[in-house]
Structures are given as structure tokens and as C-alpha cells.
Amino acid sequence: MTSPTMSFTYSKHNRIRASLTTDGIRIKSQFQSYDNGGDNENIGCIACFSSQSSRSLSSLVPEDNFVIPNGTLIPFGRIISAKYLNKQKVSLSGNSKSIHKSQTHEHTSLLDSQDPNHTSSANDDSLYEDSLYDDIENLEEGTTFNKSLIELTFVHPRGKNIVPTKLTLLMDPLPTETTSVTNTPDLVSYIIEKSYQNVHKEKSILIIINPHGGAGKALTLFNELVKPILDSSPFINYEVVHTKYYQHAIDIARDMDITKFDTVACCSGDGIPNEVINGFYQRTDRSTVFNKVCVTQLPCGSGNAMSVSCHWTMNPSYSTLCLLKSVESRIDLMCCQQPSYVDESPRLSFLSQTMGVIAESDINTEFIRWMGPVRFDIGVAFNIFQSKKYPCDLYVKYAAKTKKQLNIHYKQNKSKGQLLFTPTNSQVSINKSKDNNNSAFVQEKFPIKDTDLDIKYSIKDPIPSDWEKIDSEVTDNLSIFYTGKMPYIAKDVKFFPAALPADGTIDMILTDTRTPLHKITPILLSLDKGTHVLEPEVIHSKITAYKLIPKIKNTVISVDGEHFPLEPLQVEIIPGLLKTLLRNGSYIDTEFDAM
């Protein structure tokens, strides 16, 4: 991994003072320009940094006139790292107007030790001292002066994306009341601790890029939007591998050395995360892998449901910030069996299964197109829903059958799954504060044991007696059959608004062709809001397992956006199997409880 560091000349020309607040670091002042001969209290200019910078900085801050208004707050959520620029702490005493260096600073940051480009401290020190002489000129006799020169790395918006940049800040020491509360008397340690609360910040990541993903744009998106942010973090190590053939990511995940990595980040659509979890599933040490390795998506494909649901964004740069900052969580997976492959190995699914109109439309591409412009074309919608039905038999094991039961289930399970890391030893602890059921659930399921991965219901066995057959009036006229675990199945399509990461259930949505045409229109038009599930014609339940037996020859089954054989499909939930990253520890808020 490379860890670019900015080297630039520090002087009073580009000094910026800043102060700690409870939410971040506030830029206080000031751009002191020789050109205009005085202080400008309104802006801090870092344009001069870029002109004096190394290659890395100019690539990070290409604008010539990037300004930070005085008073700007850099929130901890946007801060990637901080380090002292001086290796020695300097104390000045005002009456003598002289500099006394104290002992060598104990808190050398990771950057100092890792960065081969970091230049000598002697030079830094003299520049640092120069800058301080200005400040002591105004000191009153007897006062002491003790400030730190901090290099702060953070991300800031540029256009639709975020990019990393660095600022050198002159900051006061940590207030004594803060040090007594946190036991982190050191300013840099405090900033880093606040910037990575409850987060496992040191990550060793295997990046899997599908160069064909997103119509061939994945590699460019990685290089332009993901890599600069990864490279700006001293806490991230990563290796990159490219997929070279169809389903290559299964082999990569099955064969990867898990002593080297704790995270797999898929620069792809939803196809690669699906392959990664299936590669894990095929390993002999699979429970160890599922306990250790976290799988996430950096949205570089055409279907990026995982990112929009988990990182709350389809933007690769914001998703990369989530990769650095998100809370590790456990989410349920679904295990699929079909006669063609079950003897070889069942297949895991993290997103959805569907048969019929949606599968035929290809979720990842055509479906979005259909949902976008054409969804307003009522004629097309009518045609789809009028003419095509997909008869089947369907047996389900209910967790919440009625909409009322589903609402209760949703409220009870909303906060399940989050894992918190204690800052001291990085051991997983359970978030007990939110919900007692939650902690019981996670304690029970963590760590995953080999037996947790065993199939509970074989497709070869008779249908269990506690499964219910869906009314054949519905299934003989089936229009939409869609089961899923994540709220968004594409941008702006909130198909499963009640989906929860670790409630141990699959959301099932059914419609049938008996629905009158005038009722189909509001259903189609409300998919972006997720309120289609409220329509009485839409069946919406939570289930833990099902068996679908198609009774039609000319359609397709799709699992996580990939085509599967048109034959009986049996699916069951595997609770909390996958470690992933959820922004703020939850899926994007669908506002289901307010519907």
C-alpha cells in the first residue's frame, strides 16, 4: 500500500488556526497574506499548499482557489487522520521570548513510521519554530505558550464526490477537562479517537475490481474516486485483484489467505459480493472466514443495491468514506437450493430472489430503465400486468404473516445486528444500550459456529408441516414474486421498505393478475417511496423459509440479479451470517415505521 504524504513549506503565509469542538475541528483563522499586507479574517486559503506540494497533494487538491471559510467545521465523520508535524513538543515562555524544547513526543502517528516520504524532523522543527515566533510576539509577560502543529487529513466535497485533502493547523492543547474524561491526554490521539468512534479503523482490505462492471467503468471509478481516499488513510492496507473471468470472485474468495485480510471490498455491482460470499461458503474453514472477514461493496457496477442499502449512497467516493468509518454489523443471508446444484453446494444470496416479470426484465439494467421513464408509461405497465402470469406453488414458513404482525416485528427488530468495538482492545462488544433483544441475539449468534451454516430444510425432504401453502388463487395468477433482504433493489426503487439487516427473516412481496388495472398504477408509481406495500392488493409478509415450484416453462428465476435455473427453489434464512459495514449500524432509513 502507498501512503502519500504531503510535503510543503510551512510559514505564516499559510498558517491556519483551528479549535476543537464537540463535533469536529473548527477553522478559526486566518489567511495572513503578504500580498494584501494583512489578516483576512474570513478565509483560510490552502491554494498555496497545493502549489508547493508533492505530486500527491496536487492530485488531491487540483483546484487553484480552494478556500475554507473562517468558521468552517470539519466534522469528525470527515476526518481521516491527524498527526503532529513536529516530532518535538515546544513550550515557549513569554517573558524570555525563547524556545525550550520539551521531551520527544510520545505519540508518533502511524504516518511517521509508515511513510517513506516523510522528510526530516529537523526541517519541520525549524519551520515550526519560525511560525511560533510570530505568536509569542504578542504574549504577555509570564504567560506560557504551548501549541501543536497538526496535519489534518479529511475529505471535502468536490462536485458530486468527496476528495481527501490536508491542512496544517495550529491548535491549542487538549483542554484539561477533556483529558480527565477521556484518558487521552494527547490531542492527535483524541482527534483520531473521536473520528473513529466504535469503528475498527485499522483495516487490511482485499479490493476486488470487476473491470467489466458498470459497463466497463469500474476501474476508472476505483482509480479516480476510491483510491485517493484509501491512499490518504494511514490505517488502511490494501491489495487489488481484478476479476478475469465469469465467477472468478468465487475462486478468489475461496482461495484467499484470510490471515492477511479482514475486509473484502468489491468494486463492482452486486454480482461480485454474491460470488465472494459463495466463495467463503465453499471453504472448509468457512465459519472462521465468516467470523473474521467483512464484505462490502464500493458501487462501481450497474446494480449497486448493497451500497445504497448499506452505505446509503450509490457514489463510490462516499462509499469509500463509509468503508473507513462504518460500524461493522452482522446481516442475515439466504441459502438457496435447487436440484441442479444442491448436491454440489447450495448457493448463498444476500439480496433477492425473483421469478417472472422482474427477473425477465433483468434487475440490474433493464429493470431500472423500465422503472424509470417507462414506469410513467401506464400503457406498458398495464401490458405487463395484464398479459403475463407466472403460475406456481408456493409454501412459506411465516415469521409475520399479516401486515399488522409485520409492523410489530419491524419495530421490535429494527436495531438488531450492530457490533461495537471497544476502542481499547478492538474486541467486539455488544451494543446493549439500544435493545436487550438485540444483544441477546448477537451474543447467541456470535461467533458463527459450523452448525449455524448447516441447511435446516433439505429440498429433498417433504415440505415441513409448519409451512403454509399460499392460496392457489394467488399463485395460479401470480404476477410479482419477489423475496429480499435489503430495502433498495436499485437506485430509487425501495422495493422492500421493511427489510432489516438481522431480523432473521426474508421479506416477501406478491401481487397477482386479479388486481384491477386502476389499482396497479398507484402500486407502480409508489415503488420509489416504498408505499406500494401498504396497498391492500400487495401481499407483504416476513418469512424464514419458502419453496417455490414454478408451473411455467417460459420465464426465468433470478438470484441477486443473476439468472438461475427455472426449477423448484427452496430458500431459508441463515441469521447473522455475514459481517458487513452499515453506515451508523443500520440500513438506509426507509421511513417504513412512519408510513
Ligand X SMILES: Nc1ncnc2c1ncn2[C@@H]1O[C@H](COP(=O)(O)OP(=O)(O)OP(=O)(O)O)[C@@H](O)[C@H]1O
Q: Which residues are catalytic?
A: 270
Of 59, 72, 93, 247, the residue at the interface with ligand X (CB under 6 A) is 247
Residues within window 298-357 making contact with ligand X, judged by CB under 6 A: 301-303
DSSP secondary structure, 533-591, as one string: GGSTTSEEEEEEEEEEEE--SS--EEETTEEE-SS-EEEEEEEEEEEEEEGGGSPPP--
CA–CA dist 221, 227 (Å, integer): 9
Decide if 359 contacts 290 (C-beta within 8 A). no
For the bound state, the minimum distance from the C-beta of residue 318 to ligand X, rounded and expressed in Å, comes to 18
Of 144, 246, 402, 589, the residue at the interface with ligand X (CB under 6 A) is 246
φ/ψ (deg, to 5) at 424: -75, -45
Does 243 bind ligand X (CB under 6 A)? Our answer is yes
Residues within window 507-566 making contact with ligand X, judged by CB under 6 A: 561-562
Residue 256 Cα distances to 212, 262, 276, 291, 299, angstroms: 22, 11, 10, 15, 22
C-alpha cell at 562: 443473476
For the bound state, the minimum distance from the C-beta of residue 329 to ligand X, rounded and expressed in Å, comes to 22
The smaller minimum CB distance to ligand X, of residues 364 and 475, is found at 364
CA–CA dist 414, 507 (Å, integer): 14
- Helix intervals (H) in 143-223: 176-182, 187-195, 213-216, 218-221
Q: How far is it between the farthest Cα atoms of the chain?
A: 93
SS3 125: helix
Q: Which stretch binds ligand X (CB under 6 A): 5-13, 62-70, 230-238, 245-253?
A: 245-253
Q: Which stretch binds ligand X (CB under 6 A): 8-16, 136-144, 205-213, 339-347?
A: 205-213
The smaller minimum CB distance to ligand X, of residues 59 and 365, is found at 365
Q: Which stretch binds ligand X (CB under 6 A): 77-85, 241-249, 333-341, 515-523?
A: 241-249
For the bound state, the minimum distance from the C-beta of residue 497 to ligand X, rounded and expressed in Å, comes to 23
- Cβ-closest residue to ligand X? 269
For the bound state, the minimum distance from the C-beta of residue 241 to ligand X, rounded and expressed in Å, comes to 11
Paired sense of beta strands 203-209 and 148-158, if any = unpaired
Q: Which stretch binds ligand X (CB under 6 A): 239-247, 398-406, 409-417, 483-491?
A: 239-247
Element at 310 (helix H, strand E): helix 305-310
CA–CA dist 60, 163 (Å, integer): 7
The smaller minimum CB distance to ligand X, of residues 364 and 418, is found at 364
Of 4, 164, 213, 497, the residue at the interface with ligand X (CB under 6 A) is 213
For the bound state, the minimum distance from the C-beta of residue 334 to ligand X, rounded and expressed in Å, comes to 18
Q: Which residue has the cell 494584501?
A: 36
φ/ψ (deg, to 5) at 18: -150, 160
CA–CA dist 300, 270 (Å, integer): 9
The smaller minimum CB distance to ligand X, of residues 267 and 571, is found at 267
The smaller minimum CB distance to ligand X, of residues 75 and 565, is found at 565
Number of residues written out for the chain? 595
For the bound state, the minimum distance from the C-beta of residue 271 to ligand X, rounded and expressed in Å, comes to 3
Q: Which residue has the cell 462492471?
A: 213
The smaller minimum CB distance to ligand X, of residues 192 and 205, is found at 205
Distance in angstroms between the alpha carbons of the first and the last residue of the chain: 47
For the bound state, the minimum distance from the C-beta of residue 587 to ligand X, rounded and expressed in Å, comes to 20
Residues within window 250-309 making contact with ligand X, judged by CB under 6 A: 268-272, 275, 301-303
Of 13, 26, 87, 212, the residue at the interface with ligand X (CB under 6 A) is 212
Of 319, 364, 479, 511, the residue at the interface with ligand X (CB under 6 A) is 364
The smaller minimum CB distance to ligand X, of residues 270 and 360, is found at 270
Of 210, 263, 483, 586, the residue at the interface with ligand X (CB under 6 A) is 210
CA–CA dist 435, 60 (Å, integer): 42
The smaller minimum CB distance to ligand X, of residues 366 and 589, is found at 366
C-alpha cell at 569: 427453489
| # residues contacting ligand X (CB under 6 A) | 23
Taking CA 114 as the corner, what is the angle to CA 112 and CA 119, rounded to the nearest 5 degrees? 50
For the bound state, the minimum distance from the C-beta of residue 267 to ligand X, rounded and expressed in Å, comes to 8
SS3 205: strand
DSSP secondary structure, 229-246, as one string: HHHT-TTEEEEEEE--ST
Of 55, 97, 100, 244, the residue at the interface with ligand X (CB under 6 A) is 244
For the bound state, the minimum distance from the C-beta of residue 546 to ligand X, rounded and expressed in Å, comes to 24
The smaller minimum CB distance to ligand X, of residues 39 and 239, is found at 239
Report, in this order, helix, strand and coil percent for the chain, each rounded to 5.
30, 30, 40
What are the residues binding ligand X (CB under 6 A)?
210, 212-214, 243-248, 268-272, 275, 301-303, 364-365, 561-562
